[in-house]
Amino acid sequence: MKMDNALGKKKYDLTAATAHTGPLEVSHRGRRRKKTRVRLSLPTNCIQLTRMSFGHSLHLEIPFPTPRLASIAQKTLSVDKELKVDQVKRILTANGDKLIVDFECTSVKMLRVSATSFFEMLTMVTSTMEQFDVDE
């Protein structure tokens, strides 16, 4: 896990697939964000505010055996809304056989709490799939 402090914003990247190659590189849905951002004359704080309103983000890409299972996970986990909507934003999408999760939180603590809670439910989904899936 690398803490990115270069832009005054912390970014935690847990994906095994996307390796952190430098402090200014952040992965965003598989697309590399342009480095040109930091060369702009505007203070980086402004840019960061327009891009990420909550300040602390987490991007996850979780591989599933098949697109069908990734889609089931996405549908299942999207039903429950976050409790503190003013402090936590969570977006789930299924992209092929990957479940993509994006968190944006107003504090490190909220990010930790939401992510932990999410992982608890995610492991329920994956264990259930492991033990009870039927062959289609």
Partner 1 sequence: MPIALGLEGSANKLGIGIIQHDDTGKSPAKVLSNIRDTYITPPGQGFLPRDTAQHHRDCILQVLRKAMKEANVTPKDIDVICFTKGPGMGAPLTSVAVVARTLALMWNKPMVGVNHCIGHIEMGREITGAGNPIVLYVSGGNTQVIAYSQNRYRIFGETLDIAIGNCLDRFARILGLSNDPSPGHNIEQYAKRGKNYVPLPYTVKGMDVSFSGILSHIESLAEEQLKAGTVTPEDLCYSLQETLFAMLVEITERAMAHVGSQEVLLVGGVACNEKLQEMMGQMAEQRGGKVFATDERFCIDNGIMIAQAGLLAYSTGYETPLEKTTCTQRFRTDEVYVAWRE
| List of residues contacting partner 1 (CB under 8 A) | 72-73, 75-77, 79-81, 120-121, 123-125, 127-129, 131-134
| Comparison of 7 and 88: residue with beta carbon closer to partner 1 | 88
Residue 30 region, left (φ>0) first, then alpha (ψ -120 to 50), else beta?
left
Closest CB 57 distance from partner 1, rounded Å: 24
The kind and range of the H/E element at 63 are: strand 56-63
CA distance 58 to 111: 8
| Comparison of 45 and 128: residue with beta carbon closer to partner 1 | 128
Closest CB 98 distance from partner 1, rounded Å: 17
Phi, psi of 21 (to 5 degrees): -100, -15
| Comparison of 21 and 78: residue with beta carbon closer to partner 1 | 78
